[in-house]
């Protein structure tokens, strides 16, 4: 955990996302994550950089010095909870498809800076794994699999265990921190965080609205094409009746689906991801308001005690 936090503090700036590899092993019915290392930052100039080769070299070096080197997932920082994306979905599917027990750890530095460690572990649900294997994200496929944003990811409970040396270090840090520093945790500071979260929430709602417009346009096109098909079939039928009355053979059968190609439905996975991200923002705002309410009560109690 300290390595992940240190990685973000050294390389994460603003909304910059940092990522890395998780190492460990499976023990009975739990996954023990015992080590990690970051993905290196590289620019477009580093065209020859091979991430896979870098990971293999790192794990080989760790194995030589007798450190846990088995790949069990990856971690990523998040910016105001903005992690429910297609990139995360594709990456986690690749990990989970290759390594069944792998997880993704999401570290929120903004929540952590407010006084409580924010670290969550997620996996793709079995239903979503099947859909991703088929690579069919049409509305019919998602409806058949009963996929909604609520059952796309499953959260895995986390238990953090420190070594004795880490406990000693944390105790020393706590002893060195003054009382004045601890009072800063009672600061509400709601305008910046709450305003940014609401702005991100509104942006996602706008994206959802645009996606709904696209889907409604698709439905209108389908309905319009069905009417055209029906009119065409009626005209053919009337013409065949007229030909039959004149003693002429009926018109040859035609594949109507070739004449009227059905419009392609828009993929629905993006809509589910946006809905999941909206839900995450709402949960963050709810937790933030509850946390501020708790700070308000604590600050009032502290003031009463001082008086």
What is the tens place of the pLDDT at every residue in 37-91? 888 876 666 666 677 788 788 888 888 887 777 889 999 999 888 889 999 999 9
pLDDT exceeds cutoff 60 at 25: yes
179 lies in some domain = yes
For residues 237-258, give the mean pLDDT. Answer: 81
69 in Cβ contact with 23 (< 8 Å) = yes
Lowest mean pLDDT among 15-24, 96-105, 292-301: 292-301
Q: Which among 62, 67, 57, 132 has a CA at the least distance from the CA of 97?
A: 132
3-class DSSP assignment, residue 47 = coil
* Domain co-membership, 82 together with 134: yes
Q: Is residue 201 part of a domain?
A: no
* 99-155 tens-digit pLDDT: 899 999 999 988 888 777 889 999 999 999 998 888 888 888 888 888 888 889 999
Same domain, 41 and 125: yes
Is the whole model's pTM more than 0.75, yes or no? no
Domain boundaries, position 166:
1-187
Considering 153-162, 183-192, 263-272, the range whose residues carry the highest mean pLDDT is 153-162
User: For residues 2 and 185, which has the higher predicted lDDT (pLDDT)?
Assistant: 2
Arithmetic mean of pLDDT, 156-185: 76
Does 221 share its domain with 161? no
Whole-angstrom distance, CA of residue 188 vs CA of residue 243: 83
Mean pLDDT, residues 17-30 taken together: 90
Domains of the chain: total = 2
179 shares its domain with 215: no
Is 287 contained in some domain? no
Q: Do 128 and 239 fall within a single domain?
A: no
Q: Within a 10 A sphere around the Cβ of 94, how many other Cβ atoms?
A: 13
Q: Do 126 and 252 reside in the same domain of the chain? A: no
User: Helical H runs in the chain?
Assistant: 2-11, 51-64, 86-98, 109-113, 126-134, 139-144, 164-176, 179-183, 190-245, 256-259, 269-306
What digits encode the pLDDT tens for the residues 179-190?
555 555 555 555
Residue 193: the pLDDT is 74
State the number of CA atoms in the 13 A half-sphere of 253 facing the CB. 1
Same domain, 11 and 127: yes
Are 30 and 111 found together in one domain? yes
Residues 136 and 243 in one domain: no
Whether 56 and 69 have beta carbons less than 8 Å apart is answered as no
DSSP string, 54-116: HHHHHHHHHHHTT----EEEEEEE-STT---SHHHHHHHHHHHHHSTT-EEEEE-HHHHHTTS
Would 116 be classed as within a structural domain?
yes
Q: Are residues 183 and 228 both part of a single domain? A: no
The residues, ordered by sequence, that sit 6+ positions from 165 with a Cβ below 8 Å of its Cβ are: none
Residue 190 in 3-state DSSP?
Answer: helix
Looking at the structure, tell me whether residues 2 and 113 fall in a common domain: yes
CATH number at residue 119: 3.40.140.10
Residue 177 counted as domain residue: yes
Q: Does 98 reside within a domain?
A: yes
């Amino acid at each position: 955990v300290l390595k992940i936090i240190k990685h973000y503090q050294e390389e994460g700036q603003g909304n910059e996302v940092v990522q890395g590899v998780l190492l460990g092993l499976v023990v009975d019915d739990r996954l023990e994550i015992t080590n990690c290392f970051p993905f290196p930052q590289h620019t477009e100039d580093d065209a020859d950089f091979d991430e896979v080769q870098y990971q293999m070299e790192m794990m080989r070096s760790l194995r030589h010095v007798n450190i846990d080197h088995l790949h069990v997932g990856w971690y990523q920082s998040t910016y105001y909870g903005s992690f429910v994306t297609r990139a995360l979905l594709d990456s986690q599917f690749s990990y989970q498809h290759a390594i069944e027990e792998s997880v993704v750890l999401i570290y929120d530095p903004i929540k952590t800076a407010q006084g409580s460690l924010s670290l969550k572990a997620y996996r793709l649900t079995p239903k979503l794994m099947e859909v991703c294997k088929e690579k069919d994200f049409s509305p019919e496929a998602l409806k058949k699999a009963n996929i909604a944003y609520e059952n796309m990811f499953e959260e895995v409970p986390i238990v953090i265990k420190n070594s004795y040396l880490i406990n000693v270090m944390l105790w020393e840090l706590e002893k060195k921190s003054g009382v004045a520093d601890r009072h800063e945790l009672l600061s509400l500071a709601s305008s910046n965080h709450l305003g940014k979260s609401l702005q991100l929430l509104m942006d996602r709602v706008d994206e959802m609205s645009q996606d709904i417009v696209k889907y409604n346009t698709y439905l209108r096109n389908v309905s319009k094409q069905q009417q055209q098909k029906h009119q065409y079939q009626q005209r053919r039928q009337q013409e065949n009746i007229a030909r039959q009355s004149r003693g002429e053979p009926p018109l040859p059968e035609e594949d109507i689906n070739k004449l009227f190609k059905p419009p392609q439905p828009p993929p629905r996975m993006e809509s589910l991801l946006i809905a999941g991200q909206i839900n995450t923002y709402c949960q963050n705002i709810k937790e933030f308001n509850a946390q501020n309410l708790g700070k308000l009560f604590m600050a009032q109690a502290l003031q009463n005690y001082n008086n």
